[in-house]
Structure 1
């Protein structure tokens, strides 16, 4: 049996059995019971100057191939979002090109696509509300002209410029009026971006939620849903239950998505998750199970992945992109573990080892032999000998028999 070497925080090496890849099948028809988007990352050229502060040099072939991978599993792609390193290495010029290229790629295969609309191309940090509105509209029109749906991302500029909840109401009212099709609103918590503290006019989530709901109610025909990324399941359910029937709740809770997507019998969340960029086959198979009315299979497939996602998104949460790119590399979707802005160095080797361990245990290694070889090469590069690991007792690993994965 092939073993997988793991690295503890104290430098100790151990070995566990390498699990086989689950027998997931790609869907033969569109997913029906839930709408699910994977917030995809970008792949840089491995030989580029991927150091902090340098413009992003994207490997477009690998980046777009990853999006086709997501679409092939029946999921939609949420692009140019924080997973793609908006405000953390992906500059405005690269963001615009990413949106244009992804929209063309989605159109070529009929893939679902929404893209982030923000104000991050503004040169100055301190701007007026009018400048925020104009900046949102510029990016909105580019997204729409490219043929993509829009997600109005939380704006750092708006967080700095707003003085009250009324300022948020005004900005969103004017931007929504300029949209040619319904958009998704985005509420990003401070775990993902500390600069968004007090968004929607309050540090109290209940007061902020009231403002958000008022914004939606005022222009319900212009809002198709809201992505909540507060990592607070109770808050999400509270807002979900108060949404108008025309608006979906897209969970952005990478800690509790299994129960939120399953629902409570009266309502459920759809998904717009960075975690699903690393778990497209698992997410697809789980939703296929829901489509077939088998909620038990849904939990067997997706349940074990939540611990992996919690590790990827561990504090400081905004470095979760490193784990997404790391898993992409392990699974053979890019030739090098590189990220724009040097962000591949944002997590320690023991942190990455725990990701490997949990991915192995949850069926998230698409090509286990390749993943093990690449991980062991990384350990060797850092002066560690994978062969020196002492074998651990065999442990039960998550596996889903083929007959339980419904196409």
Structure 2
């Protein structure tokens, strides 16, 4: 981990934390068209593992502080930077969690900027929208297990571990968690409505808040796009199954992994109880796999947070809409939010419709996106640094 601070002039102004992780997802050289661990510029793109997730933002944060220092810029508030490790392997070690436990002063801030949202491009490379992430879902795996005496496969019995687990998973597959749009999700659909005439009415209904029509609108939006479904509710899906020990024996054990993405503020232990009710088979043991990450409600989208983003975006990309959002995936923001540091995903980095190969093959970022994101974040940090009030 690396932490540094550019001191401000007003000790009563809460610091701003610039957060990024510098570890990356594993990549196999033989699978890539280029060496994933050598930065290559080609046809208007930078290619490398981590080019988008998350070394682009990490590099911009360092560049921003260097430029501010060279300019002789004196911010009102302290501007902190933390480049950390372990975001991609939080089940074994996480740098942000460790810093919060051992060097809290390095991260303590009034608010933080992090990964978690990006700009969206269409298939022709045109800018569609810039997102602000406020809140993220919690990753949690659950292990399902049922045991049975088994026996010889020539003498089958009705009580079969595979059949019982399969039946329970079928019940889970037919279950939908309740719709719970938060502030960011409501704002997202409200802002998206003018650009989507097919679903505009449902988006406006959802954005307006709870009403008798909200659930029906949410169901139609969920059916139209899996990404919309993912931000409207907790989701749980079977991802792995294992059963039996021999081809000529009745199974003595059947197990499954169920991966849940839980809305912020919900306790994974409560979700486990809900899973048990949905599976509806007391013989199936449901246990939490791995550790439980901290969870907290989404940070508020106050004007002091949102307005500087709009100003910087209008400076770099006039006319491009700015949308609040909630991430269906997890970032280090889950640790800082739970520690009382409101954390927002703001990158200014526009990605292709396929996501730029993040966590996949041939990860890339447009050179133009990186340079424009650099200018956007520089302007944004200066705006926040000069702000007279604490967000």
User: Is TM-score (shorter-chain normalized) higher than 0.5?
Assistant: no
Q: TM-score, normalized by length of structure 2?
A: 0.28
The structure carrying a bigger helix percent of its residues is: 1
**Is the radius of gyration larger for structure 1 or structure 2?**
2
Q: Which has the higher contact order (CA 8 A, sep 6+)?
A: 2
